[in-house]
């Protein structure tokens, strides 16, 4: 196998597995930059999504101020192209993690870049819950907290898995642009060591690995969403 790679994909073999530019390092960096922003950005997006649903006009905690504020924050961050966001929040990134470059530094803009997208996805998912179930819970004396966790989040869990899958795939795409601040990853390998150096085999393999990662996320997300949807029935 090694001989075949060396013969037909010489530039791929030259990068090796370890080291700063190795394939193992690039894969780990991509997974690192996908996992933690998914956690931080996902949590922030979930909070904003819930707030947007419960404070909207006619919501269970209707509040025009908080709805307007959260809606504008989400819209503002969604309007900023990610590559510009990287530079715009560089001082904030420096304050949070102590550096503006590298894989760790990429976590901040990636989290802030993915959260507004996920917040809108969560908002749509929760608004798909039958309003009759919310009214029934209110009639039975359920508190706002009960409705949020036992009605909205529980009833929409299958749809939440689906939108989470879409968001994760989008996040994987954003990690490629994180190479602009020296974050590394498979996207950076494809551009810096493949495209820029005319090493088409490197670009091909890096692209295939990204597609495999996306495929795995999609398959797991679809399986989990179907399983939860079946349980709901």
- Tens of pLDDT, residue by residue over 138-159, are 888 889 999 999 999 999 999 9
Tokens of 203: 């670009």
Indicate the pLDDT class of residue 229, thresholds 50, 70 and 90: confident
**Higher-pLDDT residue of 195, 164:** 164
Mind listing the domains of the chain with CATH numbers? 2-232 (1.10.3720.10)
Tokens of 22: 């190795």
| Cβ within 8 Å of residue 1, ≥6 positions away | none
- The pLDDT of 126-134, averaged and rounded, is 92
- The pLDDT of 43-55, averaged and rounded, is 96
- The pLDDT of 26-37, averaged and rounded, is 94
Tell me the whole-structure pTM to 2 decimals: 0.91
Q: Count CB neighbours of 71 within 10 A.
A: 18
Please determine, for residue 192, whether its predicted confidence score (pLDDT) is greater than 90.
no
- Tens of pLDDT, residue by residue over 38-48, are 999 999 999 99
Which 3 state secondary structure label does DSSP give 179?
Answer: helix
Q: Which long-range contacts (CB under 8 A, 24 or more apart) does 51-58 make?
A: 52/119, 52/123, 53/123, 53/126, 53/127, 53/152, 54/144, 54/148, 54/152
- Tens of pLDDT, residue by residue over 81-115, are 888 898 889 899 999 988 888 888 899 999 999 99
pLDDT for the residue 53: 96
Q: What is the dihedral of CA 214, 99, 112, 161, to 10 degrees?
A: 40
**Higher-pLDDT residue of 4, 56:** 56
């Amino acid at each position: 196998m090694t001989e075949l790679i060396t013969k037909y994909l010489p530039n791929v073999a030259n990068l090796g597995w370890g080291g700063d530019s190795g394939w193992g390092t690039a894969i780990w960096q991509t997974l690192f930059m996908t996992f933690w922003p998914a956690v931080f950005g996902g949590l922030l997006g979930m909070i904003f999504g819930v707030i947007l649903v419960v404070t909207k006009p006619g919501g269970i905690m209707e509040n025009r101020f908080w709805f307007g504020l959260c809606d504008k924050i989400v819209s503002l961050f969604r309007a900023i192209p990610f590559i510009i966001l990287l530079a715009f929040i560089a001082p904030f990134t420096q304050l949070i993690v102590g550096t503006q470059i590298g894989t760790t530094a990429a976590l901040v803009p990636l989290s802030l870049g993915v959260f507004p997208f996920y917040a809108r996805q969560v908002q749509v998912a929760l608004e798909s819950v039958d309003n009759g179930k919310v009214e029934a819970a209110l009639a039975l004396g359920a508190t706002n907290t009960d409705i949020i966790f036992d009605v909205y989040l529980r009833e929409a869990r299958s749809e939440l898995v689906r939108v989470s899958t879409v968001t994760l795939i989008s996040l994987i795409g954003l990690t490629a642009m994180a190479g602009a601040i020296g974050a590394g990853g498979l996207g950076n390998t494809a551009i810096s060591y493949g495209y820029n150096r005319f090493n088409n085999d490197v670009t091909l393999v890096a692209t295939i690995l990204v597609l495999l990662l996306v495929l795995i996320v999609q398959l797991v997300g679809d399986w989990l969403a179907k399983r939860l949807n079946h349980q709901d029935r």
